[in-house]
């Protein structure tokens, strides 16, 4: 998608250069006819430069420099024309066009984009205040109206020519923003270290399952909380890098133990929470006990790891189930296990 956006932007820049060449060529002839030497020389130089860089517009190496050169050259020529002719001949419309185009293109740093647009608007207003009442130096009111119509027509033709490409670029920008939003949602959904669900999405999953239990769609629910034993001592003794290794290894073991039967998440710190749905009470208990044994069998750099589990089991339709109360019960069972020597499962049906 990014490649398609770049191709469209390149096409827009290429068309803009062609339009600039045509407009500059026309005004070079007009200025020469009117005997305005400064504007004739400026436009002639810009015409030659645009012809030279036309074929290089697709070069990624020079794209930004060429784009900046084209814009500065156009703004310089437009400003010179306003200085000579004054305000109201339609040259100022080209400045508005540059502001509009700047709004359509995205940059990695949006502050730079808004700064550029701010200065463009400021520059436009400054020229307006300076030349809005300036006397006409060339031609009368008819000449002024003709030049204005020519400039307006050139811009209208340009936007019609670029309309399709600009719409596609805008659509791609919207799609990219939506894609970024989804990416941010995924980042918030999963824990970066373990790859497991974080607390919020896990709470949503549990609440949905509890609703099913209340309505009778689900026969039983078992919620288990796991806490790695002596994890603070492990961090303090072996360092946080080793602590992270313990967390990622333990989480992989827990995922292997629970993923076939339910959902596992990182609840916070060294705590993990799992939910099992539609399991017989003895089977649910054996699943959690096997998970505990799998943790106990781990040896990370010859360091033995253990974990304590607290679990509650609920079955049959129940009403007024509150997640915070259930988690509180699970947490109390976990601490019973901690106070009873750790590395064990404390299981209760409620």
Phi and psi at 134, nearest 5°, equal -70, 140
pLDDT at residue 339 tops 70: yes
pLDDT at residue 28 tops 70: yes
Q: How far apart are the C-alpha atoms of 307 and 246, rounded to whole Å?
A: 12
pLDDT at residue 105 tops 70: no
How many contiguous H segments (helices) and E segments (strands) does the chain have? 11, 7
pLDDT at residue 234 tops 80: yes
Give residue 9's pLDDT. Answer: 53
The model's pTM is 0.51
Residue with tokens 């799998």: 294
Mean pLDDT of 229-253: 93
Give residue 55's pLDDT. Answer: 58
Q: Check: CB of residue 30 under 8 Å from CB of residue 43.
A: no
pLDDT at residue 187 tops 60: no
Q: Check: CB of residue 224 under 8 Å from CB of residue 271.
A: no
How many alpha carbons lie under 13 Å from residue 120 in its C-beta half-sphere? 23
pLDDT tens figures, 149-184: 888 887 777 767 665 555 544 444 444 545 545 544
Other beta carbons within 10 angstroms of residue 76's beta carbon come to 12
Give residue 163's pLDDT. Answer: 58
Least-confidence region, from 108-117, 292-301, 311-320: 108-117
Cβ neighbours of residue 213 under 8 Å, at least 6 residues apart?
Answer: 219, 220, 221, 314, 317, 318, 321
The pair of three-digit structure tokens given for residue 169, joined into one six-digit string: 């670029």
Give residue 331's pLDDT. Answer: 95
For the chain, the average pLDDT equals 80
pLDDT band at 62 (very low <50, low <70, confident <90, very high): low
Q: How far apart are the C-alpha atoms of 81 and 75, rounded to whole Å?
A: 10
pLDDT band at 129 (very low <50, low <70, confident <90, very high): confident
Decide which of 157 and 207 is more confident: 207
Mean pLDDT of 48-54: 68
Q: How far apart are the C-alpha atoms of 272 and 176, rounded to whole Å?
A: 34
pLDDT at residue 312 tops 60: yes
Give residue 54's pLDDT. Answer: 59
In the three-class reduction of DSSP (H, G, I as helix; E, B as strand; rest coil), residue 226 is classed as strand
Least-confidence region, from 15-19, 87-91, 250-254, 279-283: 15-19
Q: Check: CB of residue 93 under 8 Å from CB of residue 152.
A: yes
Decide which of 129 and 266 is more confident: 266
Give residue 12's pLDDT. Answer: 58
User: How far, in whole angstroms, is CA 38 from its chain's centroid?
Assistant: 47
Q: How far apart are the C-alpha atoms of 43 and 51, rounded to whole Å?
A: 12
In the three-class reduction of DSSP (H, G, I as helix; E, B as strand; rest coil), residue 107 is classed as coil
Give residue 64's pLDDT. Answer: 64
Q: How far apart are the C-alpha atoms of 317 and 220, rounded to whole Å?
A: 8
Decide which of 75 and 6 is more confident: 75
pLDDT at residue 33 tops 90: no
């Amino acid at each position: 998608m990014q490649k398609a956006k770049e191709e469209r932007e390149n096409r827009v820049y290429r068309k803009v250069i062609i339009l600039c060449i045509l407009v500059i060529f026309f005004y070079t002839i007009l200025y020469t006819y009117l005997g305005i030497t400064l504007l004739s020389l400026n436009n002639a130089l810009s015409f030659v430069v645009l012809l030279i860089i036309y074929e290089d517009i697709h070069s990624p190496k020079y794209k930004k420099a060429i784009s900046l050169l084209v814009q500065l050259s156009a703004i310089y020529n437009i400003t010179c024309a306003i200085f000579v002719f004054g305000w109201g001949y339609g040259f100022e419309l080209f400045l508005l066009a540059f502001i509009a185009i700047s709004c359509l293109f995205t940059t990695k740093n949006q502050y730079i984009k808004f700064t550029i647009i701010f200065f463009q608007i400021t520059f436009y207003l400054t020229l307006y205040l300076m030349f809005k009442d300036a006397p006409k130096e060339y031609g009368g009111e008819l000449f002024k109206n003709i030049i204005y119509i020519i400039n307006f027509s050139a811009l209208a033709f340009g936007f019609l020519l670029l309309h399709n490409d600009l719409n596609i670029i805008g659509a791609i920008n919207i799609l990219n923003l939506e894609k970024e939003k989804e990416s941010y949602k995924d980042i918030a959904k999963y824990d970066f270290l373990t790859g497991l669900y974080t607390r919020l999405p896990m709470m949503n999953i549990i609440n949905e399952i509890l609703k099913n239990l209340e309505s009778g769609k689900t026969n039983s629910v078992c919620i288990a909380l796991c806490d790695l034993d002596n994890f603070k001592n492990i961090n303090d003794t072996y360092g946080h890098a080793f602590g992270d290794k313990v967390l990622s290894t333990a989480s992989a073991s827990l995922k292997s133990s629970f993923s076939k039967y339910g959902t596992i998440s990182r609840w916070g710190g060294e705590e993990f929470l799992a939910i099992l749905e539609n399991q017989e009470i003895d089977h649910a208990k054996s699943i959690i006990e096997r998970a505990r044994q799998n943790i106990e069998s781990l040896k990370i750099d010859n360091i033995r790891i253990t974990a304590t589990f607290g679990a509650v089991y609920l079955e049959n339709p129940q009403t007024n189930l509150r997640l915070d109360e259930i988690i509180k019960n699970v947490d109390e069972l976990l601490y019973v296990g901690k106070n009873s020597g750790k590395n064990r499962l404390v299981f209760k049906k409620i």
